[in-house]
Structure 1
């Protein structure tokens, strides 16, 4: 990093008071190692000076049913300002999973004005690789964001940050300083490329890293996948130990991984969603193979004694894996008369009787005929998450055709790679996205599986193409789970491209609805999300000058409750027939805004209370009724009163004097 000139150094030293110097010296004496950089004091204080902003709900960009919209958020805006605005979620996030811009001279931007005005919403200019202060700028940008990320986490929460070798060491030192070295859970080394680059001048870089820290290691939990121990088997005397038979399919159609597999015993074709016995009833296209690549599947099948080849059957499902020499077709074919199948069956049954079967095997059918059933995958007990600490090197044994996400049982494929990640994005939004820094869904889902429980909340302050949100949606669909997400993205506004409302939004929308490029369709994942835009900074004057729709937005996006310190999911009532009713929470309790038609915020008096009760009963919402108003001249045990602007400011971390009411700042 750059070294400041003498006059700059003098100015920086002049800013340090006795407490600063004492803290710096104490850190050096107690820890022996400290991260020092030009402008550190400013960077450490920036987060305390950022003001919350008005969040405008963009209804035309909401996706999914209203109840699902309220569960997930996609926020367009600068991430530090967004996290400060999301005060209601402080202490509520189970996992922060993020991929900040790498400092490679291509993606990282820095706004010099942040040093004096951290409320400036612009991203700044691209930091060139030749910039002598690029490491300092990257650290100054990351430090306040890490501080606020820590505030967002639950006491048991975990943060996982993706990084490459350009800033690995600096990020590690920052994480040690912000979260504490004692809270480091691990450094995951995942394989991003499946082959070395021959043009590398030194060592070919095929791996990247994920730094994982707990807010409090003693309270965090590395998740474990439960399984039925009664299902443990070793039917084939496998010397590698006990295993569990698993279904290698997932409920979602993807053409390239929905191909047919010809049984080495019967010659019938097995699709992910069923067996085809040449009766004209092709199984529905609503599932696909998971947990192995096509290359791996081909190798597994060959272990049954016969070589396999790829063949286009004209079924629109991708090339099938069939026995070499087989004359298999979809029509006018009888496998019992196929010499290649007859020979393959003899070899396969002999191999089965010998024991120690290949990883992909065929179970018995209902008549207990050996190998006449559906394909199953052997999952070794010592590779299952329960009883197995995640290793720090996640690799891919073989790469061939696009593969799908691994399961919680940790089979051969652990993390995916960047080529796979780009193909996943291409499939959902098309090839013209121009986004190259995407992470594979498999990697993200593994991290979520380990460190975010079902029903938990995942946050990504650098959402990019929306991979984290997509991973949450897929896991919810596959596991019937209920995890939630908050994504924050600003994109590249200097190019007129705010990823949040283009690439990020499109990917998430298509994942939810099943829409694909060129009018294609995939299995919808379901769910939904709400879209919000950060606008102007907020204070008491701003709140009191808001129009009704603006106030509705700020109430719905800021409300939380002291007595249970929770951030309820509020669904809006977009119905002009209601004068005061604006929304409801997960418990069905109603939220009301007293607004004088054409005038300012109104008061809760007897007349307005009667209207509240009438609307509440008509809408079927429960009490207590949460009523926002300027003043309260009538009280009822059925009402919880929230004063405007005081309560709104408090819910954003401000007091009535527009000062932050959390003096501890960033801890």
Structure 2
């Protein structure tokens, strides 16, 4: 398909020129895609958009200690990164394949939020966000797609094999985003399309159909490895359960005996032992339980049932033995009323007074302890045939505002935390992101938000950790609005997450602190071997702390920087207690591991209570010890940032 702007007359020549300019390789790819998939997303500049992520270089990521929040151990668990999100994800190479869930709210293409930098096609390393794309821009859809495509590719790379992405969108780009997600993640990995109610009342923003809902597209990196979790049940979820008949099975509520799918074999009449009335499945459905089981449950009302043809064009009816259609003997009715009075009632029952249609009991103990994301959460608990397992596929789902919150709730939440004047008129509600995180991120998982905005994702992670005892971590990436002099990563995003951690509120108000912490990092210049070798010591320490990872570890280590005085080489430690050292020659160039420097490393390790192995970064290794894991500068640093052999430093000293 082609974005809608290609249909406009003034853009036809430009579009035709683009087709004529396609080279043989592009035409072959396009033809193969059409032949193999039937439907393909095609737009001007697609080839460059698909290659942009590969051309973006990692950048130096500087720690900003004044903006860190929490204890050193808490800081090391979470990140708030200030910078352009594609460059940030490329720089966060150590976390590639480590993220459990990406939940994000990219700028909608409404003419008010989305910016595009035309120079990205030539130089994707340009950090400028570009100019605002107006709704009158004839190429606005193509620009949005070209901006999103490489970022979706990088998001996929950041996910674990079992990872999930949930991305918010409105109707302006819903269909384009869906096609991109199908192309990048695969249609077979689509977990669901969530339709959430952003306002409680219809919105007068469309003269034809009110747009009171928005969407979340949910995809797995690999459907076979992804897991959909459940939500904790609260008192509101259980309020409809009671035990009116002293059933030994415990609390229950009314369940539907009619299934939504039709089966001729399960379409027949059931006679009430109270009234003699014949009841048929509701609508065009059929009875959901087997005829044998229903017959047994009906007989528990004190009178045997039989299968009997009644010439109604249906399967044989379940009738009270000896009864006529529409009438039962008085002794049958009396026995049923006695059981109704004393209890407990059979599994199939006819209302509290016996005058209703047949229905079943849904026992609270048999309902899954959690709630799965199926149908309307506000109205329905899922229940099926006896022994059925509740499904974990979401499919197309609707969440009303009582379940997902409203946009106005998101704005009110933000105002309560940071005060008036933040300038945000649309904010995703905390409840929406909390639900998504609970469902698709394990309790000890890692959540990333490449469009962090006001920090809702970080807030949701911290609140869930506080209320449920989970230990989830987050990585937030935000650039802000530098053209307005406001890089709100360090104002609004930072302020919100700081305030919920500390309990700080506007004025003299306060709230219970959620606890936790995060490191604040800033993307600066692009990195290469020469940049590494010309860094000052503090800069190089930051690069080591923020980039270090090891192939044999299942997760990237969280390194805490050590800034205590008296250490010459010790620069940090990880959560397992292993130490990291940087050999630096008294403010001069990067040094080498020799016997003298090793003695200092061993002494500092002893003083800090660190046991081998010692991770030592240095220029060369002139002394070897089984206690030392040597990391060569700049080669290993570049490798930790994902740069290949061609990016490695020229070992010629003159080149240095």
User: CA RMSD of the aligned region, Å?
Assistant: 3.0
Residue matched to 2:120: 114
Of 408, 416, 427, the match for 1:419:
408
TM-score, normalised to structure 1's length?
0.73
TM-fit CA distance, 1:354: 14
Contact between 1:396 and 1:415, CA under 8 Å: does it hold in 2? Answer: no
5 Å matches for 1:559-574? 559-574=548-563
In structure 2, the residue corresponding to 1:642 is in which secondary structure?
Answer: strand
Contact between 2:18 and 2:44, CA under 8 Å: does it hold in 1? Answer: no
Of 461, 478, 482, the match for 1:493:
482
CA distance in 2, matches of 1:439, 1:93: 21
Contact between 1:190 and 1:393, CA under 8 Å: does it hold in 2? Answer: no
CA distance in 2, matches of 1:238, 1:24: 67
In structure 1, the residue corresponding to 2:182 is in which secondary structure?
Answer: helix
CA distance in 2, matches of 1:518, 1:50: 43
Contact between 1:158 and 1:214, CA under 8 Å: does it hold in 2? Answer: yes
Residue matched to 1:367: none
5 Å matches for 1:199-214? 200-214=206-220
5 Å matches for 1:301-312? none
TM-fit CA distance, 1:237: 2.6
Is 1:625 the counterpart of 2:606 in the alignment? Answer: no
TM-fit CA distance, 1:566: 2.8
Contact between 2:230 and 2:373, CA under 8 Å: does it hold in 1? Answer: no
Indicate how the Cα distance of structure 1 residues 541 and 198 shifts in structure 2: closer, same or farther if over 3 A, else same.
Answer: closer
Which range moves more in the overlay, 651-660 or 447-456? 651-660
Indicate how the Cα distance of structure 1 residues 554 and 629 shifts in structure 2: closer, same or farther if over 3 A, else same.
Answer: same
Residue matched to 1:224: 230
Which range moves more in the overlay, 518-527 or 90-99? 518-527
Of 122, 127, 137, the match for 1:131:
137
Indicate how the Cα distance of structure 1 residues 600 and 181 shifts in structure 2: closer, same or farther if over 3 A, else same.
Answer: same
In structure 1, the residue corresponding to 2:499 is in which secondary structure?
Answer: helix
Based on CA coordinates, which of the two structures has the bigger radius of gyration?
2
Q: Deviations over 1:602-652 (max 9, x none)?
A: 111111111111111111123211000000001111110000000000000
CA distance in 2, matches of 1:577, 1:244: 67
Is 1:391 the counterpart of 2:374 in the alignment? Answer: yes
Is 1:16 the counterpart of 2:19 in the alignment? Answer: no
CA distance in 2, matches of 1:236, 1:622: 61
Of 26, 32, 42, the match for 1:36:
42
Is 1:148 the counterpart of 2:151 in the alignment? Answer: no
Q: Deviations over 1:163-219 (max 9, x none)?
A: 000000000000000000000000001110001134642211111100000000001
Contact between 2:200 and 2:401, CA under 8 Å: does it hold in 1? Answer: no
In structure 2, the residue corresponding to 1:75 is in which secondary structure?
Answer: strand
Indicate how the Cα distance of structure 1 residues 183 and 113 shifts in structure 2: closer, same or farther if over 3 A, else same.
Answer: same
Residue matched to 2:534: 545
Contact between 2:102 and 2:165, CA under 8 Å: does it hold in 1? Answer: yes
CA distance in 2, matches of 1:384, 1:238: 23
Contact between 1:27 and 1:34, CA under 8 Å: does it hold in 2? Answer: yes
Residue matched to 1:607: 596
Residue matched to 1:403: none
Is 1:52 the counterpart of 2:58 in the alignment? Answer: yes
Q: Deviations over 1:261-307 (max 9, x none)?
A: xxxxxxxxxxxxxxxxxxxxxxxxxxxxxxxxxxxxxxxxxxxxxxx
Contact between 2:101 and 2:447, CA under 8 Å: does it hold in 1? Answer: yes
CA distance in 2, matches of 1:578, 1:354: 80
TM-fit CA distance, 1:431: 1.5
CA distance in 2, matches of 1:383, 1:186: 23
Indicate how the Cα distance of structure 1 residues 381 and 95 shifts in structure 2: closer, same or farther if over 3 A, else same.
Answer: farther
Contact between 1:417 and 1:439, CA under 8 Å: does it hold in 2? Answer: yes
In structure 2, the residue corresponding to 1:149 is in which secondary structure?
Answer: helix
CA distance in 2, matches of 1:43, 1:242: 59
Is 1:2 the counterpart of 2:12 in the alignment? Answer: no
5 Å matches for 1:287-436? 386=370, 389-391=372-374, 413-436=402-425
Residue matched to 1:80: 86
TM-fit CA distance, 1:412: 9.3
Is 1:653 the counterpart of 2:656 in the alignment? Answer: no
TM-fit CA distance, 1:391: 2.6
Question: 5+ unaligned residues in a row in structure 2: which ranges?
Answer: 254-340, 344-361, 381-398, 650-656
Contact between 2:638 and 2:648, CA under 8 Å: does it hold in 1? Answer: no
Indicate how the Cα distance of structure 1 residues 441 and 382 shifts in structure 2: closer, same or farther if over 3 A, else same.
Answer: farther
Contact between 1:81 and 1:119, CA under 8 Å: does it hold in 2? Answer: yes
In structure 1, the residue corresponding to 2:215 is in which secondary structure?
Answer: strand
Contact between 2:443 and 2:471, CA under 8 Å: does it hold in 1? Answer: yes
Residue matched to 1:237: 244
Is 1:504 the counterpart of 2:493 in the alignment? Answer: yes
CA distance in 2, matches of 1:639, 1:533: 31
CA distance in 2, matches of 1:395, 1:505: 34
CA distance in 1, matches of 2:342, 2:525: 72
Indicate how the Cα distance of structure 1 residues 232 and 533 shifts in structure 2: closer, same or farther if over 3 A, else same.
Answer: closer
Of 181, 186, 190, the match for 1:184:
190
CA distance in 1, matches of 2:5, 2:202: 33
CA distance in 2, matches of 1:2, 1:235: 58
TM-fit CA distance, 1:75: 0.2
Residue matched to 1:438: 427
Indicate how the Cα distance of structure 1 residues 195 and 384 shifts in structure 2: closer, same or farther if over 3 A, else same.
Answer: farther
TM-fit CA distance, 1:414: 1.3
CA distance in 1, matches of 2:32, 2:420: 54
